Amino acid sequence: MKIYRAEDYNSMSRRAANILSAQVILKPDSVLGLATGSTPVGMYRQLVNWYEKGDIDFSQVHTVNLDEYLGLAPDHDQSYRYFMQQNLFDHINVRPENTNVPNGLASDPEAECRRYNEVIAGLGGIDLQVLGMGHNGHIGFNEPEEAFELETHVVDLTENTIQANARFFASKDEVPRRAITMGIKAIMQARHILVVVSGEDKAEIVRRAFAGPVTPLVPASILQMHPHLSLVGDEAALSLL
Ligand code: F6R
């Protein structure tokens, strides 16, 4: 594991964008595994900035996102497809048909999971997987005690997650109850994993995930076993490591 300590959120974002852009420059047809959430937003902003300056070309890149809510249309402002369009895809020259996010409106979610696994396999696997990490150590929607050996699957969101998400919806009843997520097995098969963490509130879970025992109670702890892991964080998030 290689740890990159950055001073603050902006330099953490720049460092993470450096690693991702190096991947694309060295292998223009890279398959990038992408995450939503607040942490990678600054990294995406930096990548858009470098794209606008002509420093990166995404025309041959393929992307596969980690997860999506079931029941939300792609143009719903809380869907992860919408997030990716707003924060990255609409601002760079990635081909729309080369971007993949699980279909939140799939009538047969299990079949959608199988299709998604085939998409990843058909692309030859993921070159670089970007991950954020939840306060309980979740990665994607893989919550504590989830089996490590799963590929893409349907998850029931915990009551905690539903509560936490309620603020983004008109009422709690509108919050999706289920999601599709890449599993830990699929994540661990990526050739390089880039974890981004920021803020003091992540310090304790960063310590448990990267300096504690490998256990399904802290899903991200399995990342310690990955042969090519880059952890990029600001001082605050890495302060207990
Ligand atoms: C996002 C995802 C989540 C987030 C995690 C951290 O696609 O799957 O696991 O990475 O919840 O979110 P932030 O970055 O908002 O702290």
Give residue-wise pLDDT tens across range 7-23: 999 999 999 999 999 99
Q: What pLDDT does residue 225 have?
A: 97
Q: Which range is least confidently modeled, 57-61, 105-109, 160-164, 178-182?
A: 160-164
Reply yes or no on whether 136 is catalytic. Answer: yes
134-136-138-141 Cα dihedral, nearest 10 degrees: -90
Q: Which of 34, 39, 80 maximizes ligand 1 atoms within 8 Å of its Cβ, making it the mutation to test the pocket?
A: 39
Reply yes or no on whether 153 is catalytic. Answer: no
| Active-site position among 112, 127, 143, 234 | 143
Question: For ligand 1, is residue 87 a contact (CB within 6 Å)?
Answer: no
Question: What pairs with residue 218 in β-bridges?
Answer: 215
Q: How many angstroms separate the CA atoms of 56 and 45, rounded?
A: 13
Residue 64 vs residue 160, higher pLDDT: 64
Q: What pLDDT does residue 166 have?
A: 87
| Full set of structural domains in the chain with CATH | 8-210 (3.40.50.1360)
Q: Which of 138, 196, 234 maximizes ligand 1 atoms within 8 Å of its Cβ, making it the mutation to test the pocket?
A: 138
Question: For ligand 1, is residue 199 a contact (CB within 6 Å)?
Answer: no
Question: For ligand 1, is residue 133 a contact (CB within 6 Å)?
Answer: yes
Q: Distance from the CA of 218 to the center of ligand 1, in angstroms?
A: 14
Give Cα separations from 67 to 35, 51, 87, 100, 106 (angstroms): 8, 25, 16, 10, 13
Check pLDDT > 80 for residue 149: yes
User: What DSSP line would sit under the chain, residue for residue?
Assistant: -EEEEESSHHHHHHHHHHHHHHHHHH-TT-EEEE--SSTTHHHHHHHHHHHHTT----TT-EEEESEEETT--TTSTTSHHHHHHHHTGGGS---GGGEE---TT-SSHHHHHHHHHHHHHHTTS-SEEEE---TT--BTTB-TT--TT--SEEEEPPHHHHHHHGGGSSSGGGS-SEEEE--HHHHHTSSEEEEEE-SGGGHHHHHHHHHS--BTTBGGGGGGG-SSEEEEEETTTTTT-
Of the pLDDT bands very low, low, confident and very high (cuts 50, 70, 90), residue 152 is very high
Work out the average pLDDT over 205-210: 98
Check pLDDT > 80 for residue 200: yes
Check pLDDT > 90 for residue 158: no
Reply yes or no on whether 67 is catalytic. Answer: yes
Q: How many angstroms separate the CA atoms of 107 and 97, rounded?
A: 21
Question: For ligand 1, is residue 79 a contact (CB within 6 Å)?
Answer: no
Measured by CA distance, the residue closest to atom 2 of ligand 1 is 140
Question: For ligand 1, is residue 67 a contact (CB within 6 Å)?
Answer: yes
User: Which ligand 1 atom is the nearest neighbour of the CA of 142?
Assistant: 9
Q: Which range is least confidently modeled, 28-32, 88-92, 168-172?
A: 168-172
Mean of pLDDT over the chain: 96
Q: Closest by alpha carbon to 128, among 184, 185, 223, 192?
A: 192
